[in-house]
Amino acid sequence: MGTQTHSTTWFDFNQILGVFSECLPAFLIFAKDDISAIMWPLSETKHGMARHSKWHNIKARKGAQDKIRGKTFTIHAKLIALAAQRGGDPDKNPTLAEAIFNAKKANVPADNIDRAVKKGTGEDKNAETILELYYEGYAPGGVGVIVRTLTDNKNRTASNMRHAFSKYGGNLAETGAVSSYWFDYRGVCTLSLESIDTAKLEEAIIGSGAADYRFEDEEVIVYTDRADLAAVAKSLRDAWYADLDAELAYVPTNILDIEDFDKLLKILKLVEAIEEDEDVDTVWTNYRASDELMERAYAALEDVPFRT
């Protein structure tokens, strides 16, 4: 892993079963059989060195930065509308409750939230239906890439994904070529360890029903079975860990260490190009690089135009 020397402690409680996805018969696209993903708000995950832990590296930045074309409010509205398709009452729809919780955390105005709920429930007759579509492919160096999109126009999104992968040296893949072999779809909760009693936190995690957890850098990462994510997140938040972030995520099971500077530049440029698309919510990858190499690569991307 290059120069990175962070220590990681693992605590395994039980074996997580593999989760498989049902596929839509569409070109290089698949939609999850359940849309109950509880997502981190776009504004809460940093893109760059500020929170460059292993998880945030291989997770491939969730929306990068708020400055990416002001996507934050738009993505939150789409997540709420998507969740509301299964019911507009957050007391009866935990996915909607989580989406609204995250939107409020990101300071999305109440009017925006209300409009998004109405779009999802169908009360807004002029609203387009939001689709949750996934794309899989490879970045330079054979790095696996999974892209989650929220769109009202799948043809536009498919075209944009083909263009981004092609322009920056990647390749789209068949459904399942990446997700079925290199990733595990499971619940992930993260919490900063700043000013936290780790002994009490461990007690809360054990009592929450989590599958396993680990301390990494300045945060704890808690893993759950997909079906248990909402319950685990609620248990930890009720234990006074309100800042907990929770999501269903593709966690890499086969991580590729990148030590070549030029290769890393190409990977980062592809990921950033994908994330800039207005329909993209999340990008997951399975690469890992040292902090030093990541810092050099980001500095180079900011200083000079990128050449494919």
Residue 52, domain member (yes or no)? yes
Facing residues of 145 across strands?
137, 285
Q: CB neighbours of 110 closer than 8 A, spacing ≥ 6?
A: none
Q: What is the pTM of this model?
A: 0.76
Domain total of the chain: 1
Residue 207, domain member (yes or no)? no
Across 280-304, average pLDDT: 90
Residue 225, domain member (yes or no)? no
What confidence category does residue 66 fall into, taking pLDDT thresholds of 50, 70 and 90? very low
Across 129-141, average pLDDT: 96
Residue 217, domain member (yes or no)? no
**Phi and psi for 37 in degrees, rounded to 5?**
-65, 130
Q: Which two tokens stand for residue 30?
A: 């698949």
Q: CB neighbours of 139 closer than 8 A, spacing ≥ 6?
A: 145, 168, 169, 170, 266, 267, 270, 271, 285, 287
Domain with 61, as residue range(s), is 8-14+28-182+253-301
Examine the pLDDT at 211 and tell me if it is beyond 80.
Answer: yes
CATH number at residue 141: 3.30.70.980
Distance CA 123, CA 107 (A): 24
What would the pLDDT profile of 262-280 be if each residue is shown by its tens digit?
A: 999 999 999 999 999 999 9
What pLDDT score does 240 carry? 83
Residue 140, domain member (yes or no)? yes
Q: Classify strands 287-288 and 256-257 as parallel, antiparallel or unpaired.
A: parallel
8 Å CB contact between 235 and 271: no
Residue 279, domain member (yes or no)? yes
Across 82-86, average pLDDT: 95
Residue 33, domain member (yes or no)? yes
Q: DSSP 3-state assignment of 87?
A: coil
Across 110-118, average pLDDT: 96
> How many Cβ atoms sit within 10 Å of the Cβ of residue 237?
18
Residue 94, domain member (yes or no)? yes
Q: Which two tokens stand for residue 250?
A: 């593709």
What pLDDT score does 292 carry? 94
Tell which residue, 262, 224, 297, 221, has the closest CA to residue 59. Answer: 221
